[in-house]
Structure 1
Amino acid sequence: MQQPKSFPFDIRDVEEQDNEEMLKYFSGIKAKHNIQVGPKKYLLFSDYKNEAENIYNLPLRPDDIFIVTYPRSGTTWTQAIVWLLTYGLDFTAANKTPLEERSIFFMLMHKDLIDELRKVHAGNEEKLKALELLRVPGTVQVAAMPSPRVIKTHLPMSLMPPSLPDSCKVVYVARDPRDVAVSYYHLTSEFQTFKFKGGFKSFWSLFVKDLVYWSPFFDHLKEAWEMRHHPNMMFLFYEELSQNLSATVKRIADYLGKEYTAKQLDELCTYIKFDNFKNNPSVSIDNWKELGIMASKGEFVRKGKSGGWRDYFDADMSKEAEEWIAKNLQNTDLRFPTVS
């Protein structure tokens, strides 16, 4: 058996001034304890400390497929596509079993929140059982998955097992940061883990300072971009899915080595066309609403519109965003697709 590797990065608390700024807006249970990891200072919840080495040493299988994204970049959409391509377009199974059970979220831990919700649902055995499943660390859940595993994570490549992408395939999805910020703002406002209390301008201010979870945004993307020519790395843009779904699905199928007829791929595209996908109960995580993890009126899969950020940014914010993006794309050929 291979000797476990020591986790190579330091883990420290977020600096007091930055943490205080975050806590003005993030009031969720998990938001009380924030950490930064490694030289790039990836901002994560404190429960990551207990799992960092287990994640870094996760045994990989050659047929694993990792979906890696910064949050709100098209993760769920890509998950559904990759799972169906991997499992023979089994729409019946996809409709029957929630996506989060078929494709595990690597590093989803809600211990503090679950302890709180257990009090709310005391006596309801069904809900208590569902809550306990969410307490199980992602590494344990992933280890129990049958092959081939389709695994979702928001962790950057540098915090993943170091044999990636040599050992198995990775699909990395990036999205225009302005659209990411809008979608992430809504998510953090609706999830009990975050409980963001503020307007979009306040969220954007934190976003560009790398004071929201899984940031820094650009370091996250650049790590994968630098690996884009590796045969086991597919780097996708969300905008490719939203603007040319059929061609992008075909590219994903080819990358995964899956052969389907044009008719079969058309059926898949109809199934996962955004409006159909958004209304599919298997991806709406309604059970999280019932458990109290997400606001009852919240939408996990929102509008899916590329360029929708224009409805949220005033002239000053748009100028700031353009300058911030240009600054962070210096000395790299990474560019986001143009959306009219």
Structure 2
Amino acid sequence: MAFPKCGSTWMQEILWNMIHNPNFDNPQAKTPILLRAPDISQDMLHDGEEIDNMEVSAFEALFRKVVPEKDPKDGMFLEILNKMEGRRVFKSHLPLCLMTPGLLDKAKVVYVARNPKDVLVSFYHYGRVLKLYKFSGTLDEYINDCMKDDVVYMPFWPYVKQAWQQRHHPNMLFVFYEDMKADIMKELRRVNTFIGTNLTKQQLENIAKYTSFSAMKSRGDPLDTPENKTELHQDEPVLIRKGQVGDWKNFFSPELDAKVNKWIEENTKDTDITFNYGN
């Protein structure tokens, strides 16, 4: 689980390979990540008026490969998940309050958090490039809309706080994106213990290399398939852009930074969560 643009695709690939492909001999590794580890929060987007239904056909092409007997209107990625056997890996951008009750009593949850300044910048580029949203505007306009909770998936803060409050639950592993960037092996060891995969040091090192930013980017954007590349986005990557900590400093003006700092201060005064902004 993660708010969009917090490293969820990275963690998706890590978890699936740790569980199903630790020795890189699983032929399913070449299939799109949304088929191996479906994002069940994608389904709600297809019911919104903001989404062009013509573009939804790109996801339907993926769906019909796996569950041709089901109606995509019943939830494409939920039906893909329902058909999966064995230990399942799936993603959600929904907050805990919108997931099934008792989720933490039934499943292991790896939650990835990222500093909100980098989230806002990455989220802006995501909305600008992905054709589904048809967004046009400036970074300042987009961030102002985000701070007013007028962007899909917002509000940001209740989402993070709900997970933070559950960070000590035995079935919750709370991970910071910045910690993954600083010492991926340390975080992989935490994940390895949490999900009980018992991988060796060499296997974890191989996973780290296989799921590195450069390696994942060289394999192409995870949304790219012959059916959907031209339909879903421009030539720019959607899910793998820069993967940097502190990239917000290349985009924020002093005025925008002051606004965002006030937004952060107002929303963190009742919690002890802190972020690494790459200062």
TM-score scaled to structure 1, two decimals?
0.72
**Contact 2:221–2:240, Cα closer than 8 Å, also in 1:** no
Paired residue secondary structure (1:166): helix
**Contact 1:73–1:238, Cα closer than 8 Å, also in 2:** yes
Paired residue secondary structure (2:91): strand
Distance in 1 between residues matched to 2:153 and 2:248, nearest whole Å: 20
Structure 1 gap segments, 5+ residues each: 1-67, 122-126
Residue aligning to 1:86:
19
Distance in 2 between residues matched to 1:321 and 1:173, nearest whole Å: 21
1:229–1:247 Cα change, 3 Å: same
* 2:132 is the alignment partner of 1:193: yes
Residue aligning to 1:34:
none
Q: Tell me how far 1:331 sits from its aligned partner.
A: 1.7
For the aligned residue pairs, the C-alpha RMSD in angstroms reads 2.3
Residue aligning to 1:208:
147
The C-alpha deviation readout for 1:19-70, integer Å capped at 9, x for no partner, is: xxxxxxxxxxxxxxxxxxxxxxxxxxxxxxxxxxxxxxxxxxxxxxxxx111
Residue aligning to 1:295:
234
Residue range with higher mean Cα deviation, 172-181 or 138-147: 138-147
Residue aligning to 2:35:
101
Residue range with higher mean Cα deviation, 133-142 or 247-256: 133-142
| Residues matched between the structures, number | 266
**Contact 2:112–2:175, Cα closer than 8 Å, also in 1:** yes
Distance in 2 between residues matched to 1:150 and 1:130, nearest whole Å: 21
The C-alpha deviation readout for 1:203-254, integer Å capped at 9, x for no partner, is: 1111111111111101000011110100000111111111111111111111
The C-alpha deviation readout for 1:119-175, integer Å capped at 9, x for no partner, is: xx9xxxxx7971664945132222111121101110000000011101111011111
Q: Which amino acid aligns with 1:75?
A: S
Structure holding more helix per residue: 2
Residue aligning to 2:169:
230
**Contact 1:289–1:296, Cα closer than 8 Å, also in 2:** no
**Contact 2:114–2:275, Cα closer than 8 Å, also in 1:** yes
Which one has the largest radius of gyration?
1
**Contact 2:22–2:207, Cα closer than 8 Å, also in 1:** yes
1:163–1:129 Cα change, 3 Å: closer
Paired residue secondary structure (2:90): strand
Distance in 2 between residues matched to 1:132 and 1:95, nearest whole Å: 17
Structure 2 gap segments, 5+ residues each: 66-71
Residue range with higher mean Cα deviation, 139-148 or 158-167: 139-148
The counterpart of 1:130, out of the listed 51, 54, 61, is: 61
Structure 2 counterparts to residues 184-333 of structure 1, below 5 A: 184-281=123-220, 283-287=222-226, 289-333=228-272
Report the identity percentage.
31
